[in-house]
Chain A
């Protein structure tokens, strides 16, 4: 038994083929043998043992299932750093809504996974705790796992856990899923509570899931979705049983292929995978419809105004007054702020805080922030119009395969382009899933992205399940 999927492992546990303790030891060994990946910020054997000794069995598929948690989710029994020096010793006295739900289902948390600092990055190179190495790296050439949820993606890809939580603001689940060859879903904005997730950009942040297959993704997604009265943006809707309801028969459905996602300069291998997926869908009786999402090209600039603007405000609370790092170099309040934030934040975080502060400043607000918000509305309208003609949309997830650690570091714009296919859905608040669907010429995984209407996650699981089954 390989123990790579939740569904099978759960049956083994249920049939007492293996105990939770034995299962956990397997994963502890796996993590210990892969410390070079740097996938975890917090990993402590004793902590896991303690969870097992105090474990109460739950009637759930997730009972005893070892999971990894992105270090952006506040956890009561483990520190929470958000990948930042400013929170390096922060121990929350509370459990995030999402992780609380998972614990309630009986899941075991193996540790907290590495991520870009405050989820700002597309390569997991901005973490204070060092870069994560993509487990599929070529020999002598460590590759990035993608970001910001790179540790979670890498941990799932290397079978260091059976599933992992992530957060996606502009592609932070879908992009690393694509780079690491796993399934990653960002649900509709509002499907999961943001309570207890360290905020990056509040109007875009959404919790999601990494797994090795679509079924597991549906199982975990159902577990973390649901209304929370402590989050004003949390949706109060009934959550279907995604897994039980998966119907991989897509005949009669229509897929939209947006012409704007044919971006010039993109490696041919990306389009090859896309074409292949279209063909597979067509074979399954899916009608192919060319659609237009005319404002797509404005999505990236709009995103890189809105997200930093919100971040500049969200990160103001890290000031050295109440918790987290406080610089010792302080002789005045202003100096304490300056030094704490200078020492506590990394380069990328500072860059975005500065951008965000700038675009919200008096005299610039209308030209940047307000305009970006208008673009955002247009982009959302593009999708709504498109869904009049199709049930879901198919695009590549990323404009390239995983690249070497260190690449694009000197060129933020190039780095930001990683998000070109994932950002529009984030701005529109619609759900998206990335599943592996091919290999680059170098043999690296490439993902394709499925998008659909708000709160129509079931359609995503159905289509993803079909593609997964018919991938050759």
Chain B
């Protein structure tokens, strides 16, 4: 795969590493029992610990530990039986303690990997360096008063997993695939809701450029990106900025950048000289975490089937293409829906491709247009299966099926009922079709003559006329046969 960017003087390679901040799916915070619910009125979900009142102490939430381990196992990563919580010290108005509790030298999860799939069926492994647990900060609100900043601590202390990749990513596209894959895995594991709009999944992008084969260049970090679109845009912009700067004789300085979605540009947030010295040290309020093997193994038992396994299964058992399998498995709910169709209707096993097409084209576009998730699809997996069965058993044509589908989406009725009520069943009665064909040939005697004199292309015209007369219900195969027979007599 060629990911090189053409500059004025040479080709350039982009080197990218991602730090993903994924909010742990948990009812309460990492070190307090306050709610983590999104959208509460400001400062309504703040405990004494979250507000860093004097003498308050953090106590680890065991559920968050389990979620982190589960995620680590899902990323095929090493779970560290010994890990330590450290304090990362800095001042900010929405950081009540004056430090963030994080994990520095001894994270809970070590090396792992994630496989990304390209459209052409190829795939690539992106290595994970580590996953660690940390607290989120509160929120500073600058736009409600011209002279004041307000602070909302609802988010303060919410558990985050920071997933750090090796600099294995080489393009904006790969970055997009990578974050999408992580998101998919987290949702399969049910350890993060993956909602990027609500900030449950955010990323910092580390990016540098180099001539192929050279050492890594100086990197810049783009902070706090909360959509895949912005991640891609910012990478594309930043790579070009760095290439232009170097080609013009400039030097890349190690900067922390912000991406401005309005202008599509990155701008410096702080330079290396202004970089914080976080003065990490082990949090003396918390004991190191010692995990027993049985604790980890019990969590391993809870790991569900993950997208890569399902994908393999689809390719092998259902003979689906790698691409189709990727699309189906990229969303757990879609994959579950697909599985349910096949589970409810065993006879569709050999028609998996057709089922896939109906889900990924008709159903997806309908759901998208109506802004509904597949979980709330008006067409149940059972009914979708019934519809496909009607097609493969020649009860209705593909074209009629689309109308039935429309009707199903609106009325939530079963396809059999719709077909029955509207009399849409295919005409497979040979005599009936013969009658229709006779009528058509009668009405178009001139064209029959033309056909017989060699204009065989007119066959399509006769088919169309007959279909029209049958209101689309004639079985196309039979109709074709009968027409050809009669015309060739």
Contacts and interface: CB of A to CB of B under 8 A. Distances in A.
A22 interface: no
Interface stretch (A275-283, A356-364, A382-390, A449-457): A356-364
Contacts of B51: 322
Contacts of A202: 284-285
Contact of A233 (B48, B56, B281, B287): B287
A460 to B, nearest CB: 25
Contact of B277 (A333, A337, A362): A362
A285 B420 CA distance: 106
Given A232-B285, A233-B285, A196 B52 contact: no
Interface in A5-56: none
B8 interface: no
B98 A313 contact: yes
Most chain A beta-carbon neighbours within 10 Å: one of B51, B57, B92, B285: B57
Contact of B89 (A92, A93, A316): A316
B261 interface: no
B152 to A, nearest CB: 13
Given A232-B287, A233-B285, A82 B54 contact: yes
Given A233-B285, A357-B279, A317 B59 contact: no
A313 B96 contact: no
Contact of A319 (B48, B53, B91): B91
B106 to A, nearest CB: 14
Contacts, number: 98
Contacts of A199: 54-55, 285
B183 interface: no
B89 A313 contact: yes
A230 B57 contact: yes
Interface string B283-314: 01111000000000000000000000000000
Interface in A294-311: 309-310
A353 B91 CA distance: 14
Interface in B404-448: none
B102 interface: no
Nearest to B98: A316
A7 B274 CA distance: 61
Interface in A214-261: 229-233
B93 A333 contact: yes
A229 B98 CA distance: 24
B54 A322 contact: no
Most chain A beta-carbon neighbours within 10 Å: one of B151, B277, B280: B277
A415 B293 CA distance: 49
Interface string A361-381: 110010001000000000000
B281 A194 contact: no
Contacts of A365: 279-281
**Contact residue range for chain A?**
35 or more
B57 A198 contact: no
A47 to B, nearest CB: 20
B65 to A, nearest CB: 13
Interface string B44-88: 000010011111111110000000000000000000000000010
A313 B58 contact: no
A199 B54 CA distance: 7
A43 to B, nearest CB: 21
Most chain B beta-carbon neighbours within 10 Å: one of A82, A233, A316, A322: A316
B53 A92 contact: yes
Given A333-B93, A337-B91, A357-B279, A313 B99 contact: yes
A321 B156 CA distance: 14
A195 interface: yes
Given A313-B279, A337-B91, A361-B277, A231 B52 contact: no
A307 B284 CA distance: 11
Given A232-B286, A361-B277, A316 B91 contact: yes
A149 to B, nearest CB: 16
B279 A321 contact: no
B97 to A, nearest CB: 5
Contacts of B286: 232
A93 B54 CA distance: 11
A74 B54 contact: yes
A317 B52 contact: yes
A317 B277 contact: no
Contact of A321 (B96, B280, B284, B285): B96
Contacts of A313: 87, 89, 98-99, 279, 281
A426 B51 CA distance: 29
A315 B52 CA distance: 11
Contacts of B52: 317, 322
A398 to B, nearest CB: 26
A319 B91 CA distance: 8
A75 to B, nearest CB: 11
A316 B60 CA distance: 21
Contacts of A87: 54
A317 B54 CA distance: 8
A203 interface: yes
Contacts of B92: 333
A34 B281 CA distance: 45
A290 to B, nearest CB: 34
A202 B99 CA distance: 14
B93 A229 contact: no
Most chain A beta-carbon neighbours within 10 Å: one of B55, B89, B93: B55
B159 to A, nearest CB: 16
B99 A316 contact: yes
Contacts of B99: 313, 316
A82 B53 CA distance: 13
A94 B277 contact: no
A313 B86 CA distance: 11
10 contacts: A74-B54, A92-B55, A96-B55, A202-B284, A203-B284, A232-B60, A310-B281, A333-B92, A337-B91, A362-B277
Given A201-B284, A317-B52, A317-B54, 13 more contacts: A82-B54, A94-B53, A195-B55, A313-B281, A316-B91, A316-B99, A317-B97, A321-B93, A333-B92, A360-B280, A360-B281, A362-B277, A365-B280
Interface of B: 48, 51-60, 87, 89, 91-93, 96-99, 149, 151, 277, 279-281, 284-287
- 4 smallest CB-CB distances across A and B, nearest first, come from A316-B98, A203-B284, A202-B284, A360-B279
